[in-house]
Structures are given as C-alpha cells and as structure tokens.
Chain A
Amino acid sequence: MTMIFGIPIQALLGQLLVGLINGSFYAMLSLGLAVIFGLLRIINFAHGALYMLGAFIGYLLLVHLGIGYWPALILVPLAVGVFGMAVERAALSRLYRLDPLYGLLFTFGMALVIEGVFRFYYGVSGNPYAVPSLLAGGTNLGFMFLPNYRGWVVVASLIVCIGTWLLIEKTRLGSYLRAATENPELVQAFGVNVPLLLTLTYGLGAALAGLAGILAAPVYQVSPLMGSDLIIVVFAVVVIGGMGSILGAIVTGYMLGLAEGLTKVFYPEASNLVVFVIMAIVLLLRPAGLFGRDA
C-alpha cells in the first residue's frame, strides 16, 4: 500500500473527498450569504435553517407525495425561494434602514422558529434519504473508490457556484444587482425597481440554501439540527474569506473543506476546531479577510 507521511494514500484521499464534499456545501452556503449580504446588508442567520428546510421539503415530497430526487432538485429551491421572498416582503424589508445587527437578530429568531417547528414534529433523529438509483453505486478510479453520488455533489456544486457567479458578473440582471449594491438610490433613479431586486436577491439566496439542502439529503441524514451546526462554520468561512467578492466566498468554502479533511487525517481531535483556528490566524494577519475589501 502506498503511504504518504505514514498515512495510507487511500485514507488520505478518502478524507480529502469528504473534505471536498463538506467544502461544496460551505461554498454554496457562503455564496448565498455573500449574495444576500452584498445587496441587503443583512447577515442571514436563517441560512442554515433554510438549508435544513430544503432537505426536509425534499424528504417530505418523497415520503408523502412520492416525488423523487430529480423533480425535487427543481421544486425544492423554488419552494424555499418563494418562502424566502415572502419573508423578505413581510419582515426583512422593514429592517433595511436600521443597524444591520437587527437583521442578524431577526433571522436568528427565524432560524430558532423553523428549527423548533421541525424538532417538534420530527424529533432530533436523522431520517435517511436514499441516493437516486441513477447515481447509486460507485466507480473505481484505480487509486480509490468514488461513490457516484458524492462525485455528483462536487460537480453539481461547482455548476451552481459558477452559474451564480456568471449570473451576477455577466448578465444584465446581475449588473443591476451589482449597481444596486454600490448605490441603491441612483439605480432606483434610473428606473430600476430596487425593492423588487432586493426581494429577488433574498429569494435567490434562499433558493441556493434550499438546493444545497436537497443535495445534502442523501449524503447526511435529514435532521432538524443539520443546519444550525453548519451555519456557524459557514460564518467562520465568511469571516476568513471576507464578503467583498462572490468568487472569494466560493474559493474559501472549498479550501476550508479540504483543510478540514486534511486535519481529520493527521489530527482527528482538532478537525472540529481547524476552521476556527484558521479564522483566528487570518484575523491576526489580514483582518479584512483573504478576499475582503472593507476593513
């Protein structure tokens, strides 16, 4: 068996794959957070809850309506996105003129309610969600065995991240969005419906979280707690990357997933802590974050 630094190469690659999977979810979630923050100036604490909501809607569609994975991949982001837009219209839009901290506190309350409702009805235990038959099984890559679904998650998250980046950087809608981030009053004066843009942006961010949720359902168990544990790590990722750039959020997400995977190989006890340690180091050396512009 081939060894690297006294570690079997299979174990190393296996953990790196797990890290890459985790990194895919970090990337998708921190991307959504960055998109929402860019325009709304709100840190969406409910992002983890929306991710959990996505996984649960997928699970409930399967159990109660017999709707499988592939249709759910479309339906779930739509449902979570519409839910997000309703929340934005009803509540968040009233908080824009206040200190951004109020947005954080409101979405924190929202996260507690969503999580509490699902805990009340479904308990804290995980519900398994079967891998779709098309992606069942695995492929032998010669040097390691790759479960097909995990490969799909990495590919799908890359498509989602690059797609969102292109949407924001290369389309007309994206240019409105970027302009509104810089100067909302001016963009409004040019006849762009900025309040609608804000609603759509929160909807887009929520849909991204929902999509991440349904992608995660077959990998992790569908549980009411799956979001709150993740969101704090994603916050650390956001602090490390800085929220100045969309691309930065994506890259940092993957990098930290991999760093976590590597730590699991060499020093498993610290794998929970490594993201936070990296955050502390980045704060010492580059307080604005790796890709951040604001001090």
Chain B
Amino acid sequence: MSELTLQDERTAASVRLERALVALCIVALIAAPFFVYPIFIMKMLCFALFACAFNLLLGYTGLLSFGHATFFGGAAYFCAYAVKAWGWPPEAGILLGMGGAAVLGLVMGFFAIRRQGIYFAMITLALAQMFYFFCVQAPFTEGEDGIQGVPRGTLFGILDLNVAMNMYYVVLAIFLIGVFAIWRIVNSPFGMILRSIRENENRAISLGYSVGRYKLAAFVMSAALAGLAGATKAIVFQFATLTDVTWQMSGEVILMNLLGGIGTMAGPAVGAGLVVGLENTLATSGFPVTIATGLIFMICVLIFRRGIVGELYARWLAPAEAGGERDKG
C-alpha cells in the first residue's frame, strides 16, 4: 500500500525521531544487563531476532509461513550437536546452524511457493510437522531429552562465553547484526521487489520479475536468520529440545509479529519482548500459557490488526499513512 512511498514522504522530524529512538534502544540494551537478569534479556533478544526474521517473510513479502519453528529449532539442534559432539567452536556451530536452516528453508520453500495464501500456510505447517516427527525419531536429537549440556566454549578462541557478560554482548552483537541485515534487505532494490510481490503479485509477474525465485530467496533468507536466532539460543541456554520445533513455536512467532505489528521494523521485536515477558510472568502464576496466547491471538485478529508499533505509527509518527492497515496478505 502506502509503504512504497513512505520513504519520500516522511518528514525530516519523524526521521530524526526514529533515529533517536533507535539510538536510545541500543544504549538501553547495552546498559540492560546491569539492571536486569542477563539470561532473560538474552532470551528476549534471540526471540526478537527470530520474530524479525519471520517478519521479513510475512511483513515484507506477504507470505505467512506456519513452519518457522523448523528453522529456529533445527538450527538449534545442528549447532548444539556440532559444538557438543564434534567439539566445534561456538562461532562455527552458529554458522552451521544458520547454513542448515537455510538448506531446510530452500527445501520447504521449494514446495511451499507452488501454492499461495492459506495453502502456503498449510504446506509449511505440514512440512514443519514432518521435520518434527523426523526430530522425534532421529538418534542425533536424543529424543525427548534433547541435546543437553552444550558447552558455550570460547568465541574465536579468545572470548570466554561462560562469563555471563561476554555471552550477553555477543548475543547483543548478533541481534544487532541480524536486524541490520534485515533492514538492509528490506530497503534494497531486492526488498522493493519483495514488497511489490506482497502488494500485487500478478503485476510483479507482468513487470517481468520471476516472482517464484524472489519468494524462494526471501524464504531462504528468512530461514537463515531464524536459524541464526535458534543457534544462538542453543549456545546461550546450552540445550536444544523438541519444544523449539513444535507447531506451537511456529504459532508463537506469528503471535509476536501480530502483537507488535506486521510489516514494521520494530514491531516484531516489541512483540517478542512482550510474549517472552508474559510467558515468564505466567510460568509462576499457574495460569496456562496456551490460553493466554490464544486469547491474545483472537483479540489481535479481531480488533488490533496493526499491532502495537503499527498503531503508534498510524497515530503519531506518520499521520499521513493512517489507513495503511495491511489487510491484504
């Protein structure tokens, strides 16, 4: 919709405000571990990167994948296995996880882009369930127990990741690099073509773009970045389990996007922070998490489709864009 013209129409004031907000967030994240339990923020950062990677596909290409847990959890397994069983250093493990996720993304994307809309969602869901069953049966995942006791190791042979602060800043760096990569992709000519596919696939075809290839490329990039998040999470928490490959996890990342704001840069990260925070709170209260997430899903779809950041945008930052609600997939 209006997002293509957004770049030119934005006022200098709102650009300044945005830059200031980004700088403020980075400073806050650098200072955060001195005030909040670092493990908790690291969890938030991993899920935030996962959600942003997902948004690259849903928000900017208009493809709803219901199978992203495959890349997140799959990369966690690959990374955990390489680091624990083969004694790989953490950076190699993370890269392997990312590469593995990209390969899985290539395979899943190859099948899924043959259909559109809800069929796309159902195919990704089914293929992700297939990967889940594979993980249940394959010996290297160690079944219900998962891969436990993964050593954090030393990054590049110099930085000891067993020190909480070292680990934290490495995760923060990975998060920032990942989000920067997504920002670059979205604002490149390639990203513009993705948006044109989202807005009107037939017109993109008639303009001569091989839409299938662009969709597949976006799918693989999204998968690789989701894998980066998953592999990092495996190093932080030192385990990889079946939880991360279930369909509930695929649903959770959709919820993060929906709640924060689909198709906004900051929305998925905000949504991820809220969902992770909520789960942490509920874990001690006895109220079932699934009921809460289900209710938020229903409320968001019914009355809050723009999400938190989307609403903020529509109200304050870019009043001219009001009505930019993304109703078309």
Binding site for B on A (CB under 8 A): 43, 91, 94-95, 98-102, 104-106, 108-117, 119-120, 228, 232-233, 235-236, 238-239, 269, 272-273, 275-277, 279-280, 283-284, 287
Using Cβ atoms and an 8 Å threshold, which residues of chain A touch B289? 116
Residue among A94, A105, A233 with the most chain B CB within 10 A? A105
Partner of A235, one of B125, B133, B298, B302: B125
Closest to B134 in A: A273
Q: Are A120 and B291 in contact (CB-based, < 8 A)?
A: yes
Complex contact A116–B130 (CB within 8 A): no
Assembled-state Cα–Cα distance A106/B114 (Å): 25
Q: Is B122's CB under 8 angstroms from A43's CB? A: yes
Query: What are 21 A-to-B residue pairs whose CB atoms are below 8 Å?
Result: A91-B298, A95-B302, A98-B305, A99-B328, A102-B301, A104-B64, A106-B298, A108-B254, A108-B294, A109-B294, A113-B291, A113-B295, A116-B288, A117-B291, A120-B288, A120-B291, A269-B137, A272-B133, A273-B130, A276-B130, A279-B123
Q: Does B238 contact A (CB under 8 A)?
A: no
- The reply to whether the CB of B148 lies closer than 8 angstroms to some CB of chain A is no
Shortest Cβ distance from A120 into B: residue = B288
- Closest CB-CB distance, A45 to chain B, in whole Å? 9
Q: For chain B, residues 108 to 134, give those with C-beta under 8 angstroms from any C-beta of chain A.
A: 111, 114-115, 117-119, 121-123, 125-127, 129-130, 133-134
The answer to whether B127 touches A276, judged by C-beta atoms less than 8 angstroms apart, is: yes
Contact of B111 among A269, A275, A280 (CB under 8 A): A280
What A residues does B118 contact at CB under 8 A?
43, 100-101, 104
A240, closest chain B residue (CB): B126
Residues of B within 8 A of A239 (CB): 115, 119, 122-123, 126
Find out whether the CB atom of B291 lies under 8 angstroms from the CB atom of A116: yes
Q: How far is the CA of A108 from the CA of B296 in the complex (A)?
A: 11
Contact with A along B116-158 (1 / 0, CB 8 A): 0111011101110110011001000000000000000000000
A116 near B297 (CB under 8 angstroms)? no
Quick one: given A98-B327, A232-B125, are A105 and B114 in contact (CB under 8 Å)?
A: no
Question: Once the chains bind, are B126 and A106 in contact (CB under 8 Å)?
Answer: no
Residues of A within 8 A of B291 (CB): 112-113, 116-117, 120
Cβ-defined contact, A232 with B129, below 8 A: yes
Are the C-beta atoms of B126 and A99 separated by less than 8 Å? no
Q: Within 8 Å CB of A94, what residues of B?
A: 302
Cβ-based interface call for B11 (8 A): no
Q: Kindly list chain B residues whose C-beta atoms are within 8 Å of the C-beta of A287.
A: 114-115
Contact present for A112 and B133 (CB under 8 Å): no
CB < 8 Å: which of A91, A108, A238, A280 contacts B251?
A: A108
- Please measure, in the bound complex, the distance between the C-alpha atom of A214 and the C-alpha atom of B84, giving whole angstroms: 47
In the complex, A75→B5 CA distance in Å? 56
Chain B residue with minimal CB distance to A280?
Answer: B111
In the complex, the chain B residue whose C-beta lies closest to that of A287 is B114
Known: A109-B297, A232-B125, A276-B130. 11 other contacts (CB 8 A): A95-B302, A101-B118, A102-B301, A105-B297, A105-B301, A110-B298, A112-B290, A119-B288, A276-B126, A276-B129, A284-B114
A284 CA / B295 CA spacing, docked (Å): 37
- Alpha-carbon separation in the docked complex, A22 to B302 (Å): 35
Interface presence of B247 (CB below 8 A): yes
- Report how far A233 CA is from B126 CA in the complex, Å: 7
Q: How far is the CB of A50 from chain B (nearest CB, A)?
A: 14
Q: Give the distance to chain B from A105, nearest Cβ to Cβ, in Å.
A: 5
CB pair A104–B123 under 8 Å, yes or no, is no
Residues of A within 8 A of B117 (CB): 99-101
A105 and B119 form a contact (CB under 8 A): no
**B258 part of interface (Cβ distance < 8 Å):** yes
The answer for the CA separation of A106 and B251 in the assembled complex, in Å, is 11
Residues from chain A with Cβ under 8 Å of B247 in the complex: 228, 232
In the complex, chain B residues whose CB is within 8 Å of the CB of A228 = 247
Complex: how many Å from CA A94 to CA B298?
Answer: 12
List chain B residues, Cβ under 8 A from A117: 288, 291
The 4 tightest CB contacts between A and B, nearest first, are A109-B297, A112-B294, A116-B290, A113-B294
* Chain B: minimal CB distance from A223 (Å): 15
With the chains together, A115 CA to B122 CA distance in Å?
20
User: For residue B127, which residues in chain A have a CB less than 8 angstroms away from its CB?
Assistant: 276, 280
Enumerate chain B residues within 8 angstroms of A110, measured Cβ to Cβ: 294, 298
B329 contacts partner chain A, Cβ-Cβ < 8 Å: yes
Q: Which B residues touch A279, using CB under 8 A?
A: 123, 126
B325 to chain A, nearest CB (A): 9
> Which residue of chain B has the shortest Cβ distance to A94 in the bound complex?
B302
User: In the complex, what residue of chain A is closest to B128 when comparing beta carbons?
Assistant: A232
- The reply to whether A283 and B297 contact each other, CB–CB distance below 8 Å, is no
A276–B128 alpha-carbon span in the complex (Å): 10
B327 contacts which chain A residues (CB < 8 A)? 98-99
> Closest Cβ of chain B: how far from A95's Cβ, in Å?
7
Question: Which chain B residues (289-329) contact chain A, with CB distance < 8 Å?
Answer: 289-291, 293-298, 301-302, 305, 327-329
Closest to A228 in B: B247
A235 touching B251, Cβ below 8 Å:
no
C-alpha gap A228/B290 in the complex (Å): 13
